[in-house]
Amino acid sequence: MKHIPHYSSFGRHLLDNLECQTGFLPVVFNALMRFRGSIIDPLDRETDFTFNEQNQQLTRTLPVTGNEQYWYDEEDRNYRSEDFEGNVVDSIFTDEGLLDELQYFNSSADPDVDTPDETVRYTYDDQYRKTSMTDDRGTTYYTYDDDGRITQISSPEGSLNYEYDDLTGPKTRVTTGDPSDVENDFRNDKLDFTV
């Protein structure tokens, strides 16, 4: 994607044009170098955004489908979002600031009163690495080596196993299934591409 910046006669950054398949998307900034709040696509449709003082997105309004909204707590964490259809996702955090739960509510529910339609729960180890995620499908487990690299993701659908170069550290191999009885074997070349 080509990026073309535009500046005022005083050198202030005013506008970025981002090249896309059908032309350019203008992205406008305000005097504080924050995104101004709207994008006009090549078909002249405008998408509007609003932000708070911390430059966190509060709303996104599309030309046809409506609004998305975002709420933040006193620690500037996004604790609630509402999509275009009115569905709400609440984020619950641990005392350490880690994501503990995602609670999903349909558009007819009141998230301040009603029980969530679905809850996703997370656990962490003493180094704050995610060790499990539980949702309606079951529990997915995450295992790490002594260097903190992920070695296995085991979900209800199956397992992904990761191997690393002992000397240089990059991932060298990904397998599926039981590591002792591999179903699929993917190796990484010296440029870290899977082959």
Among 56, 48, 54, smallest CA distance to 80 is for: 56
Distance CA 101, CA 61 (A): 27
- 33-62 pLDDT, tens digit per residue, is 455 567 777 788 888 888 888 888 899 998
Q: What is the mean pLDDT of residues 159-170?
A: 81
What is the widest separation between alpha-carbon atoms in the chain?
66
Q: What is the pLDDT of residue 103?
A: 98
**pLDDT beyond 70 at 23:** no
Q: What is the pLDDT of residue 193?
A: 60
More confident: 161 or 22: 161
**pLDDT beyond 60 at 63:** yes
Torsion of CA 20, 21, 22, 24, to 10 degrees: 20
CB distance 7 to 14 below 8 Å: yes
**pLDDT beyond 60 at 1:** no
Distance CA 86, CA 21 (A): 31
Q: What is the mean pLDDT of residues 151-177?
A: 83
- 69-128 pLDDT, tens digit per residue, is 999 999 999 999 999 999 999 999 999 999 999 999 999 999 999 999 999 999 999 999
The model's pTM is 0.71
More confident: 110 or 190: 110
* Mean pLDDT (the chain, rounded): 80
Q: What is the mean pLDDT of residues 139-145?
A: 96
Which segment of 130-134, 143-147, 163-167, 187-191 scores lowest on mean pLDDT? 187-191
CB distance 25 to 8 below 8 Å: no
Q: What is the pLDDT of residue 66?
A: 84
86 by DSSP, 3-state: which? coil
Distance CA 180, CA 182 (A): 6
